[in-house]
Structure 1
Amino acid sequence: MTDTDVFTELVGQDEAVQILRRAAVAAADLLAAGDGEPPPSAAAMTHAWIFTGPPGSGRSVAARALAAALQCVHGRGCGECPGCHTTRAGTHADVRFVVPDGLSIGVGEMRALVLRAASTPSGGRWQVLVIEDADRLTEAAGNALLKAVEEPPPRTVFLLCTPSTHPDDISVTIRSRCRVVALRQPPADAVAQVLTSRDGVPQETAMWAAAAAQGHVGRARRLARDPQARQRREAVLAVPRRLTNVGACFDAASALIEAAEAEAEAAVAETDAAERAALQTALGAGGTGRGAAGAARGSAGQLKELERRQKSRATRAQRDALDRALVDLAGFYRDVLVASLRAPVAPVHTDVAPLADAAAEKWTPEATLRRLEAVLTCRDAIAGNVKPRIAVEAMMLSLWRG
């Protein structure tokens, strides 16, 4: 394989890469066989896949890599042919990527995608539907997808990404009709190697960022290259020292929520402005005459729908930003617990190890574990649609009380 092989971006997942490479070869063999006898390799390929694993494990990277390999003219994901290039760029005519802007994927969108995926591939290979957040499917959308997975068109492949195969993430009936590829959290040294070799990050910085990101490649890259990301992380790790009384707990909760809101607003502002400008142009903004006036009168509904979608996207961005902060906070309490028990495990946050050691001297392991559980409970509550401010305030009080 060359250095540009589509699977090389899947960090620390050797077993999964072997499975996917075999599937790509089998898919090419099936195309070559046509309507004839299935080749011996056929069992390595199937029409529906689920990629599961913790955040940062590379679920969407794996799905995109397999999608590229299926469109590869050489049948293995060379990374150099037009099929690989266009798939990785998101411009291949026979590959659709579903990345929900908001908190869910609705039935209308899913029906349209399934209908499109059932068409004959324009390039003669495969129609591929990649759903990067299949755990966000509504019940009705899941049912629409299930029908397509149960009765798949001959040249259509479904690639789903979910945190796990728990019924809360993906329905049992969909899961039972898919082949599951379980990904693991990449080891820190593998993530550091990627940062050093591909991004030119100094070795020491790469090792620190990989450990602090807890195996999440994208977050490690942000920490290594973005000063603002490092500042936000430092503010989160200062929270345990700030919890001196009830008032401080509420202040810390407000600061955490406001920081997440600011990060989310910055993340979506450019996209929101571009979308609004494009829609106004399409509706004839700035035009004159009877036709322009009529278009303006009929634009209210479309603008309202755009605002609804943008609000949903902002909510998701805020929750994602808040979840990253909670993961950092959980890592700190994990380090305190490791120090208390003198476990032979490397710390997550090496730069605040002295603070974790000091806390370990002050708190019992049981109290530290209760604090860690409070952070994880907060994450679950927000995932269950509890208002973030309420969940974070309750967490801060639990952290203070121990």
Structure 2
Amino acid sequence: MIWSQVVGQPDAIAVLRGAATAAAGVVDGAGSGAGMIHAWLFTGPPGSGRSVAARAFAAALQCVAGSGCGECPGCRTTMAGTHADVRLVVPEGLSISVAEMRALVQTSARRPTGGRWQVVIIEDADRLTEGAANALLKAIEEPPQRTVFLLCAPSDHPDDVPVTIRSRCRPVPLRTPAPAAIAEVLRDRDGIDEQTAGWAASVCGGHVGRARRLATDPAARDRRAAVLRIPLHLGRLADVFECADDLVKTAEADASEVSGARDEAEKDALKTAMGHGGTGKGAVGATRGSAGAIKELERRQKSRATRTQRDALDLALVDLAGFYRDVLVSTGGAPATLTHPDHAEHIDKAARTWSPESTLRRLEAVLSCREAIELNVKPRIAIEAMLTALHRG
């Protein structure tokens, strides 16, 4: 069944399965629909599976059996992202614009074409601009009879999701999956050997997708190892700039690798659609009028590359923060599980060398860097300032 893809969330699954059953009763005229509402807010830490849970719920809503069997066309097409009545909004840039949200709201007002419900999934709903949030609010306040909105956000804090929206949504809080549950998924679903699966689950910070990348991608393992070498390799001031350069260049390379081929394909497709290379009547005029569309595409691609670079840097900063957190755990002799158990020797060495106050200052420098980058400080400047603070202690 599709619920097997939602890892380590038994309470949330029970709520969603009950709502899907109630929704089936509404469509079939066999129930009152108690427990089913038109707006849901999935919250939880990174890697908890917010979007996966939302897709599974969407599949259950489209399921002919009303349970998420995983075999019917409704389940299969929803999970594959090809269902005509399930729209997925994945922000590729820094935010979700009001124009994009207005267009989505208009589409969501239609009746389902072939499915049982019209479902709108908004990943990273915390990236809604103020105008986009207001446009969505109007739709949630007066939803069409057969439309369901599924919003995903890190938390239900007003800074993430406006109070006016979250007050009209039923919350679905998700928790960080246990390492044992993640390892089981890697073994059973991805065919990864037990030792590798156990290691990846123990160092991924509860992020299922990260665990899969670490288990299958040697480059991802190398990037993580390079980041975790930084705390004990800042002996000279020159090391600060060298490490900063490595971090920024790695993030830029990741963004280029992810976006490069896709950017060119999108641009070629747009040029073809706008008549580039054509020789027929009107081809010259069509080509001349395509300049604005190409410029808008390039703007969106630049925004997507910026977001990809920031995400890569943020992942490195999360690993660094986890290292300093582990040093504090080791210094205090707490029984808490280490974030990076495979670097326990380096963590113990740092705990013997640094004072707790110095470690805490380093941790605060990493967290401040994350905040600075989110506030549009140039990544290289923010990274160099952070590494300088780490060097000084």
TM range (shorter): over 0.9
Deviates more, 1:333-342 or 1:312-321: 333-342
2:25 corresponds to which residue?
29
- Following TM superposition, by how much is the alpha carbon of 1:80 offset from its aligned partner in structure 2, in angstroms? 0.6
What CA distance in whole angstroms lies between the structure 1 residues aligned with 2:282 and 2:173?
Answer: 56
Match of 1:43, SS? Answer: coil
- Following TM superposition, by how much is the alpha carbon of 1:289 offset from its aligned partner in structure 2, in angstroms? 4.3
2:332 corresponds to which residue?
341
Q: Is 1:354 the equivalent of 2:345?
A: yes
What CA distance in whole angstroms lies between the structure 2 residues aligned with 1:231 and 1:299?
Answer: 43
Deviates more, 1:279-288 or 1:141-150: 279-288
- Following TM superposition, by how much is the alpha carbon of 1:243 offset from its aligned partner in structure 2, in angstroms? 1.3
What CA distance in whole angstroms lies between the structure 2 residues aligned with 1:108 and 1:21?
Answer: 34
Aligned amino acid, residue 51 of structure 2:
S
What CA distance in whole angstroms lies between the structure 2 residues aligned with 1:103 and 1:234?
Answer: 28
Runs of 4+ in 1 over 6 A off after TM superposition: none
Of 48, 52, 59, which residue of structure 1 is paired with 2:50? 59
How many residues are aligned here? 393
Q: Is 1:324 the equivalent of 2:320?
A: no
2:2 corresponds to which residue?
6
Of 279, 289, 304, which residue of structure 2 is paired with 1:288? 279
Match of 2:151, SS? Answer: strand
Aligned amino acid, residue 24 of structure 1:
A
1:18 corresponds to which residue?
14
Structure 1, gaps ≥5 residues long: none
What CA distance in whole angstroms lies between the structure 1 residues aligned with 2:17 and 2:109?
Answer: 25
What CA distance in whole angstroms lies between the structure 2 residues aligned with 1:27 and 1:222?
Answer: 36
Q: Is 1:93 the equivalent of 2:84?
A: yes
What CA distance in whole angstroms lies between the structure 2 residues aligned with 1:150 and 1:134?
Answer: 17
CA RMSD of the aligned region, Å? 1.3
Matches for 1:169-188 after TM superposition, within 5 Å = 169-188=160-179
Deviates more, 1:349-358 or 1:106-115: 349-358
Q: Is 1:82 the equivalent of 2:73?
A: yes
Match of 2:282, SS? Answer: helix
Aligned amino acid, residue 11 of structure 2:
E
Query: Is the contact made by 1:129 and 1:158 (CA closer than 8 Å) also made in structure 2?
Result: yes
Query: Is the contact made by 2:74 and 2:115 (CA closer than 8 Å) also made in structure 1?
Result: no
What CA distance in whole angstroms lies between the structure 1 residues aligned with 2:195 and 2:103?
Answer: 48
Match of 2:161, SS? Answer: coil
What CA distance in whole angstroms lies between the structure 2 residues aligned with 1:386 and 1:33?
Answer: 55
**Deviations, residues 174-212 of structure 1 (Å, cap 9, x unaligned):** 000000111111111111111111111111111111121
Q: Is 1:198 the equivalent of 2:200?
A: no
Aligned amino acid, residue 8 of structure 2:
G
What CA distance in whole angstroms lies between the structure 2 residues aligned with 1:26 and 1:230?
Answer: 44
Deviates more, 1:189-198 or 1:287-296: 287-296
Aligned amino acid, residue 9 of structure 1:
Q
Of 149, 154, 159, which residue of structure 2 is paired with 1:158? 149
1:399 corresponds to which residue?
390
Aligned amino acid, residue 120 of structure 1:
R
- Following TM superposition, by how much is the alpha carbon of 1:270 offset from its aligned partner in structure 2, in angstroms? 2.0
- Following TM superposition, by how much is the alpha carbon of 1:370 offset from its aligned partner in structure 2, in angstroms? 1.8
Q: Is 1:373 the equivalent of 2:364?
A: yes
What CA distance in whole angstroms lies between the structure 1 residues aligned with 2:201 and 2:6?
Answer: 15
- Following TM superposition, by how much is the alpha carbon of 1:103 offset from its aligned partner in structure 2, in angstroms? 0.7
What CA distance in whole angstroms lies between the structure 2 residues aligned with 1:137 and 1:396?
Answer: 32
Aligned amino acid, residue 334 of structure 1:
R
Query: Is the contact made by 1:208 and 1:350 (CA closer than 8 Å) also made in structure 2?
Result: no
1:115 corresponds to which residue?
106
- Following TM superposition, by how much is the alpha carbon of 1:301 offset from its aligned partner in structure 2, in angstroms? 0.7
Structure 2, gaps ≥5 residues long: none
What CA distance in whole angstroms lies between the structure 2 residues aligned with 1:134 and 1:389?
Answer: 28
**Deviations, residues 115-155 of structure 1 (Å, cap 9, x unaligned):** 11011111251111000111111100000000000011111
Q: Percent identity?
A: 65
**Deviations, residues 231-280 of structure 1 (Å, cap 9, x unaligned):** 11111111112212333212211211111111111011121121111112
- Following TM superposition, by how much is the alpha carbon of 1:290 offset from its aligned partner in structure 2, in angstroms? 4.4
- Following TM superposition, by how much is the alpha carbon of 1:222 offset from its aligned partner in structure 2, in angstroms? 0.3
**Deviations, residues 82-108 of structure 1 (Å, cap 9, x unaligned):** 000111111111110000111111111
Aligned amino acid, residue 85 of structure 1:
R
What CA distance in whole angstroms lies between the structure 2 residues aligned with 1:182 and 1:383?
Answer: 24
What CA distance in whole angstroms lies between the structure 1 residues aligned with 2:225 and 2:299?
Answer: 33
- Following TM superposition, by how much is the alpha carbon of 1:386 offset from its aligned partner in structure 2, in angstroms? 2.3
Query: Is the contact made by 2:140 and 2:168 (CA closer than 8 Å) also made in structure 1?
Result: yes
2:180 corresponds to which residue?
189
Query: Is the contact made by 1:96 and 1:130 (CA closer than 8 Å) also made in structure 2?
Result: yes
Of 288, 301, 304, which residue of structure 2 is paired with 1:297? 288
